[in-house]
Chain A
Amino acid sequence: MNKKAIFMPTLAIATLFLLIYAFYVFIVKDPTTEYYGLVGSNQIAITNAYKDAENDLFYAEQAVKYSIDKTSEEFSNNGGVNQECNSQWVFDDQKCNPDLENNFNAILKKNLINYGLDLEQSKIENNIIQVKLKDKIYSNNLTNLEFKYKVKQEFKEEIALDFSNLLNIKNNLYSCTIKNKPDTCLNNFITKGSIIYFTIENHKNIFTLSQNPGFKKLEFKFNIDNENPRKRSF
């Protein structure tokens, strides 16, 4: 038989041995090893990580929204200062100083912790709060694939309070009370003794559980000692 004639039978027998060996390696040798599944398993692990990230991000987004509404309510009820200050602004006092943005962020941080979320940074601009939570990492270490999927958790929400207006009021009062009494600086207040009371209404509804569950508009109430606006008298 010449070389040309022997080629095809040799090829057929070699193919047979090769396929038997492939069948042994992929199917018989270790049935638990998913040679076929490897490609699929990796893809599934990646799509599952993506799915988990989407679900967690959705949860965080909703939780941030509720936390901001809760914070706005608590912040309004406290008059923008520590709860112990009975809504009284005292400019030169550490505890009752109306450092509005920092005070808001402190309450927000506490509310987010209740939802198992960790606030990294927040910033209020034009009544919009930007909340940045700690990045979440999804990782997997498969046989031949290792991945780390880092998800940034950043959200923007409108605050139910007119924060810009509050900052203007605070700045006006602060500069005014250096030389004058607070009642000469602003209008629309009620006086009881030496204390003057301000109420700022807001127009955005928030859903709250306080008293009866339902929607309500927030009222930001604070007071200031007309005689001594910079030092604590209580």
Chain B
Amino acid sequence: MKKAQEELMFVFSLIFLVVVLTLFFIIMSIASHDKIKNQIDSLENGEININLINYLRTPTNFNNLSISGLITYSYHTNNYDNLKVITQDFFDKFHDKEKCQTMLINVLTKDGDRVFQLISSGNTKTTKDKFALKSNSIFIPTLDADNKLKVTYVEGCTNE
């Protein structure tokens, strides 16, 4: 009888231990959810920064300029035709239009005036992908040292 009581106590203790550990895991997961999410977002921003710099460093056939140089050239000549063609070409290389994916390049002056914008949108109706838009900005110099341009790159899915 005493042996049976000990066995019962052992089993109840084991169940109690499992329940406590499970509850603790659930509570801690809920309590720390936002903090964990922040970490992931920030690391993704580092990734999009690399994509933006890769875009700006991409060489073009136009007078051996990189895309960054072409943006500056377009700004000074107020002609964005070449930039539009080359940016669209860049989008087409990396953009899977069957997926819910948006790529956007935006160029602002230091006063906040938008001088160029190009968007490439994917199929937002059929996909079940859901992920937030991620963006990053970088300043590039112009030939007149007093002015600089803010280039923003946005990547992600708008299908919420």
- Using a CB–CB cutoff of 8 Å, the interface residues on chain A facing chain B are 1-2, 4-5, 8-9, 11-12, 15-16, 19, 22-23, 26-27, 34, 36-37, 39-40, 43-44, 47-48, 50-51, 54-55, 58-59, 62-63, 65-66, 70, 111, 114-115, 205, 207-209, 213-215
B10 near A5: Cβ-Cβ < 8 Å: yes
B35 near A34: Cβ-Cβ < 8 Å: yes
Chain A residues near B36: list those with CB within 8 A: 36, 40
| Chain B residue nearest to A112 in the complex (CB) | B145
Chain B count of residues within 8 A CB distance of the other chain: 46
* Complex interface: stretch among B82-90, B117-125, B136-144: B136-144
Instruction: Check: B13 CB closer than 8 A to any chain A CB.
Output: yes
| Chain A residue nearest to B140 in the complex (CB) | A62
Alpha-carbon distance A39/B43, docked complex (angstroms): 13
A40-B38, A54-B53, A58-B56 in contact; A1/B6 too (CB < 8 A)?
A: yes
Of residues 51 to 85 in B, which have CB atoms within 8 Å of A's CB atoms?
A: 53, 56-57, 63, 65, 68-69, 72-73, 76-77
B143 near A58: Cβ-Cβ < 8 Å: no
B20 near A205: Cβ-Cβ < 8 Å: no
- Using a CB–CB cutoff of 8 Å, the interface residues on chain B facing chain A are 6, 9-10, 12-14, 16-17, 20-21, 24, 27-28, 31-32, 35-36, 38-39, 42-43, 45-46, 49-50, 53, 56-57, 63, 65, 68-69, 72-73, 76-77, 138-146, 148
Chain A residues near B14: list those with CB within 8 A: 8, 12
Q: How far is the CB of B69 from chain A (nearest CB, A)?
A: 7
Chain A residues near B146: list those with CB within 8 A: 114
Q: How far is the CB of B25 from chain A (nearest CB, A)?
A: 10
A114-B145, A215-B63 in contact; A51/B45 too (CB < 8 A)?
A: yes
A43 near B43: Cβ-Cβ < 8 Å: yes
| Chain A residue nearest to B50 in the complex (CB) | A54
Looking at B35, B43, B57, B72, the one whose CB has the most chain A CB atoms below 10 A away is B35
B139 near A44: Cβ-Cβ < 8 Å: no
A12 near B17: Cβ-Cβ < 8 Å: yes
By secondary structure, the A interface counts as: helix
A63 near B141: Cβ-Cβ < 8 Å: yes
A26-B28, A43-B43 in contact; A209/B144 too (CB < 8 A)?
A: yes
| Chain B residue nearest to A214 in the complex (CB) | B77
A11 near B39: Cβ-Cβ < 8 Å: no
Q: How far is the CB of A213 from chain B (nearest CB, A)?
A: 4
B46 near A47: Cβ-Cβ < 8 Å: yes
Chain A residues near B140: list those with CB within 8 A: 58-59, 62
Ordered by A's residue number, 17 sampled pairs between the chains whose C-beta atoms are within 8 Å are A5-B10, A8-B9, A12-B14, A15-B17, A16-B16, A23-B27, A27-B28, A27-B31, A27-B32, A47-B43, A54-B53, A58-B138, A63-B141, A205-B63, A207-B72, A213-B77, A215-B63
| Chain A residue nearest to B31 in the complex (CB) | A27
B145 near A115: Cβ-Cβ < 8 Å: yes
A55 near B138: Cβ-Cβ < 8 Å: yes
Chain A residues near B27: list those with CB within 8 A: 23, 27
Chain B residues near A15: list those with CB within 8 A: 17, 20-21
Q: How far is the CB of A148 from chain B (nearest CB, A)?
A: 20
B145 near A9: Cβ-Cβ < 8 Å: no
Alpha-carbon distance A46/B30, docked complex (angstroms): 27
B69 near A8: Cβ-Cβ < 8 Å: no
| Chain B residue nearest to A47 in the complex (CB) | B46
Alpha-carbon distance A5/B7, docked complex (angstroms): 8
Cβ-neighbour of B53 out of A4, A16, A58 (below 8 A): A58
A207 near B143: Cβ-Cβ < 8 Å: yes
A55 near B143: Cβ-Cβ < 8 Å: no
